[in-house]
Amino acid sequence: MTAIFRTLGRAVLALGLLVSAGCTNFPGSVAAPTPPAPGASSQPPATLPAVPPTAPAPAQPYEKAVLAAANALLTNAKLPPEGTPAQARYAVVIDPLIDGMTGAQSVATQSMGVRLSKLMREQYPQYEVQTFSAANVARSPLVLIGTFTGVNGQRQTTGQREAYRICLALADLRSGKLVSKGLAFALPDGVDPTPLAFFRDAPAWADDPATTGYIKTCQGTKAGDPINPLYLDRILAATLVAQAIDAYNAGRYREALELYQSAQATPAGNQFRVHNGIYLANWKLGRQAQAQAAFARIVDFGIEQRRLAIKFLFRPGSTAFMSDPKVSGPYPVWLKTIANRTAASSGCLEITGHTSPTGPEPLNERLSQLRAEYVKTRLAKDAPQLAKRLISNGMGSRQTMIGNGRDDATDALDRRVEFKVIGC
């Protein structure tokens, strides 16, 4: 494999030298042709063969891929971090791993975190694994983060996903830089992408700076790069959020509510996960008025970010919501809140239906359009003054976030209805 990369590197370097030698003109300018030297052939020079595209990185069985990424991360860590004294053991906390597209935690990401903790304790004595808590984070340990993301055959996050990308990063809070990275691709066999209870129950998704900062720290970076400030500024609040999610997953809803409220009270507490958590915990505790107020904050957050996705679940092949009251019971409250909060703003709202990739795409596009129109009609009924500020369209399965085609809880976000604030 090394020889292949060396050969490819020489080919790319040669091509780069040729291109740079012929790129002295500014865009839009045309170089005057150089007349041939006396006696020289007037035939154009032969062109070099094109460099073949790089083959996608191979995918390994899941367990093997996890170990490959972990061992690369832990073995190649540049310790001690620059400017810090050497230590006999380095404290490490694990901020729960997430999906690199949605930010959700799943059975797979949870099991990876457990596996990484066990590996460090058993085979890497230089690391001391500690609980991800505010007290431990305040002592500026190493933080292990990671994303687990479905990718297609070209290792991109579009279309039908055929493998998973495992991206791990080890960040030093003292220096504010990454000290190591680990990357591997896993086959889907044996992977359980079922979302944990909090993420399964969460009614909405939006671009959240806290999650964005986590993902950008892990993905597209290398050892020595700085920790993304969006993540660094919110990591203390993230410890409370992680504890709240654990409490919710265990059915301890009152404890979860108190932890989410504690996180909200911090300077970095305006996080989408926090608003979702306060809504869910109140709903589970039967506090409907408080839940409705929390959902209003979810909508306001989405309007501020100009994009909000709601997990409305429809009957298969239909524009009617699922009839199970445990699923669709809160939908009227959601719709009324979206209508009222949007009506109070000055923008227009684009409502876009999405589907999973199951079935013929023309049918998916038509179905997603009809579902968006149905939601548009419901919003206009709840807030008639909003009617002229609504437009609807359908994307079919062209913008899947999960893309596994399972049509179950794992890819519910692929069947979302999305609201985007646009100019009128």
Q: How many domains does the chain have?
A: 2
Indicate whether 108 and 201 sit together in one domain: yes
Instruction: Provide the mean pLDDT of the chain.
Output: 89
Cα→Cα distances 171→122, 174, 210, 249, Å: 21, 9, 16, 27
Supply 351's token pair: 């409502």
Boundary (domain end) residue, out of 174, 194, 226 = 226
Rounded to an integer, the average pLDDT of 141-147 is 98
Query: Same domain for 208 and 318?
Result: no
**Domain with 189 in it:** 62-226
> What is the dihedral sign for C-alpha 386, 365, 407, 97?
negative
* 173, 208, 226 - which closes a domain: 226
Q: Which two tokens stand for residue 342?
A: 């949007």
235 in any annotated domain: no
Per-residue confidence band for 57, with pLDDT thresholds at 50, 70 and 90: confident
DSSP string, 75-105: HS---SPTTS---SSEEEEE---B-TTT---
| Residue 131, in any domain of the structure | yes
**284 within domain boundaries:** no
pLDDT digit string, tens, across residues 65-106: 999 999 999 999 999 988 888 999 999 999 999 999 999 999
Residues 191, 312, single domain; the answer is no
- Taking the C-alpha atoms of residue 337 and residue 200, their distance in angstroms, rounded to an integer, is 21
Are residue 91 and residue 198 in the same domain, yes or no?
Answer: yes
SS3 label, residue 56:
coil
Q: Are 414 and 203 in contact (CB under 8 A)?
A: no
What's the DSSP call for residue 344?
Answer: T
What would the pLDDT profile of 3-48 be if each residue is shown by its tens digit?
333 333 333 333 232 223 333 232 333 333 344 444 444 454 555 5
Task: Tell me whether residue 344 is in a domain.
Answer: yes
Backbone φ and ψ for 48, nearest 5 degrees, come out as -75, 150
Report the CATH number at residue 358: 3.30.1330.60
